[in-house]
Amino acid sequence: MSNVNPRRWWALLVLATAQFMVIMDTSIIGVALPEMQKDLGFSQGELQWVFNAYVIVFGGLLLLGGRLSDLVGARRIFVAGWSVMIAGSVLAAAAQTAWVEIAGRAVQGVGGALIAPSAMTLLMMLFMHDPKELGKAMALYGAAAPAGGTAGVFLGGVFTEWAAWQWVFIIYIPIGLATLAATRLLPEVGSRRGAVDVLGAAAVTAGLALAVLAVVRAPETGWGSTSTVLQLIGAAVLLALFLVIQKSVREPLMPLGVWRVPRLGSANLAMTLLGAAWIPMWYFLNLYLQQVLGYGAFASGAALLPMTVLLMIFMTAVTARLMAKVGAKPLIGGGLLVLAAGLVWLAAVEPTGTFLVDVLPASLVAALGMSLAYIPAMIAAMSGAPQEQAGLASGIVNTTYNVGSALGLAALTAVAMSQGADRLGDLPRLTEGFSAAFIGAAVIAAVGGVVTLLVMKGDRAAAAGAAPAPAPQGEKAAA
């Protein structure tokens, strides 16, 4: 076929590297958090902002990143995203105070919000000519996520134990520069006319940030306090304003008609709840290993490797085959329920526990559930979108996962703090708080599994990696 890019598999390597690095950015800091807490003066409750500053900005701007990718050209936005990511990494590495660190993480989030949807758009363009190739490419691209998680927890431990926590950010500079040099392998995509809904982007990002801020501060100020209530009302008003803007502007950031794409709504709901359960589990498991079991940074990172290696193996070797046989729906719903079972098991952690008894088996069960659900949910959300909305669909599904992650972490941090997770040095109370967070995450995952099985429509073609609906003739960009 004339429009098949002969360098598409090399281009996929560049895109998978981007996915690898974006996901590593959320995992590499986990092991380093206690050291960052000591050096920069974070409280136990404030520490989550090192993670959430990235996730909120990343999730809030993904729709804008997807829109810019469709209008300006995916390759240009990909390059811009990496440039911003490098700048944020420099700022985060040089931080001497907590707030500068948070600012650096926010800048990294802007870069990630440009990289993720543009990478997915380029992948679709490169492989949409062949459903089998697209399925294989999606599996390899999806496997880069757990690979990034694996590398993140390992490198975070190595850097924190034997160098300094700043290296968890410095590592992005040479890799980012190498990725920029390799972008010549990516297809050039012409720009097309259209407006950018800046007001809509500002409303949705501010609304999400205010909602997370309210949940984070509620344990200190009180859920019924004036400040908490006003912040939640403000968040609701901003998000409602976003929907009004989408209905009224000529070229909205998120045309509401996109939700007519089959399975987009149910798949994104599943991704929201998956993020809300998985990320808090990973966050509190890191803290349990270091603050209760007394693991050092490297030992903590090594303790999480079996979980992330299982994720990578199942996503590449098992999940894709299962999708072709049973479809996305049972894998997403069943995966969320398996994740819930692993979280319930983790909730039984003890102050005098051990890795082999309290952590390893439960974390492997949780990882199995995640590996079954993540790629099927991603493909189910993307498969029905036409090419001209590929960036938008990618932005939406990445947004829902990251918004779920941020809100889930904020809510479960509040739960954990209320049950004793703020009592550093009091191991029984610390463990009780972490256990409460695991139970809360299990409830979220279980609800997600049940709702998916009840609501999502089955579709084997989508699960097997069917190509998106083709764009009208004349609108296809040559790969």
Tell me the C-alpha to C-alpha distance, in Å, between residue 145 and each of 17, 151, 192, 381: 9, 10, 31, 17
Both tokens of residue 284?
């509190």
DSSP letter (8 states) at residue 458: P
Q: Which of 11-25, 159-173, 236-250, 465-479 has the lowest mean pLDDT?
A: 465-479
What pLDDT is recorded for position 366? 96
Interatomic CA distance for residues 85 and 169, integer angstroms? 10
Average pLDDT score, the chain? 82
Residue at 230: amino acid letter? L
Interatomic CA distance for residues 76 and 144, integer angstroms? 22
**Which of the pair, 35 or 1, is modelled with greater confidence?**
35
Interatomic CA distance for residues 349 and 96, integer angstroms? 35
Interatomic CA distance for residues 243 and 204, integer angstroms? 9
Residue 478 pLDDT grade (very low, low, confident, very high; cuts 50, 70, 90): very low
> In 282-321, which positions are buried (b, 16+ CB within 10 angstroms) versus exposed (e)?
bbbbbbbbbbbbebebbbbbbbbebbbbbbbebbbeebbe
Residue 43 pLDDT grade (very low, low, confident, very high; cuts 50, 70, 90): confident
What pLDDT is recorded for position 405? 82
Residue 3 pLDDT grade (very low, low, confident, very high; cuts 50, 70, 90): low
HEC sequence for 184-251: HHCCCCCCCCCCCCHHHHHHHHHHHHHHHHHHHHHHHHCCCCHHHHHHHHHHHHHHHHHHHHHHHCCC
What pLDDT is recorded for position 85? 94
Residue 94 pLDDT grade (very low, low, confident, very high; cuts 50, 70, 90): very high
Residue 303 pLDDT grade (very low, low, confident, very high; cuts 50, 70, 90): confident
Tell me the C-alpha to C-alpha distance, in Å, between residue 388 and each of 186, 262, 305: 18, 16, 39
Both tokens of residue 437?
């967070």
464-477 average pLDDT score: 32
pLDDT at 475 over 50: no
Residues 424 and 430 sit within 8 Å (Cβ to Cβ): yes
Q: Which of 52-56, 77-81, 115-119, 171-175 has the lowest mean pLDDT?
A: 52-56
Interatomic CA distance for residues 297 and 165, integer angstroms? 10
Residues 466 and 385 sit within 8 Å (Cβ to Cβ): no
Q: Which of 189-193, 239-243, 347-351, 457-461 has the lowest mean pLDDT?
A: 457-461
Tell me the C-alpha to C-alpha distance, in Å, between residue 211 and each of 228, 233, 283, 408: 9, 9, 20, 11
Residue 468 pLDDT grade (very low, low, confident, very high; cuts 50, 70, 90): very low
Both tokens of residue 86?
């490098």
pLDDT in tens, 211-269: 877 877 777 778 788 988 999 999 999 999 999 998 888 888 787 777 777 778 888 99
Mapping DSSP to helix (H, G, I), strand (E, B) and coil, where does residue 420 land? coil
Both tokens of residue 428?
């029984």
Residue 271 pLDDT grade (very low, low, confident, very high; cuts 50, 70, 90): very high
Both tokens of residue 418?
């209320």
Residue 472 pLDDT grade (very low, low, confident, very high; cuts 50, 70, 90): very low
What pLDDT is recorded for position 387? 63
Interatomic CA distance for residues 343 and 367, integer angstroms? 10
**Which of the pair, 387 or 57, is modelled with greater confidence?**
57
pLDDT at 194 over 70: no
What pLDDT is recorded for position 461? 43
In this prediction the pTM is 0.76
What pLDDT is recorded for position 140? 77
pLDDT above 90 covers a percentage of the chain that reads 27
**CA angle 402-78-66, nearest 5°?**
50
Q: Which of 19-33, 96-110, 331-345 has the lowest mean pLDDT?
A: 19-33
Tell me the C-alpha to C-alpha distance, in Å, between residue 424 and each of 300, 355, 359: 18, 20, 20
**CA angle 144-135-148, nearest 5°?**
5
pLDDT in tens, 316-328: 788 878 888 888 8
Residue 463 pLDDT grade (very low, low, confident, very high; cuts 50, 70, 90): very low
Q: What is the largest CA-CA distance in the chain?
A: 66
Interatomic CA distance for residues 258 and 397, integer angstroms? 12
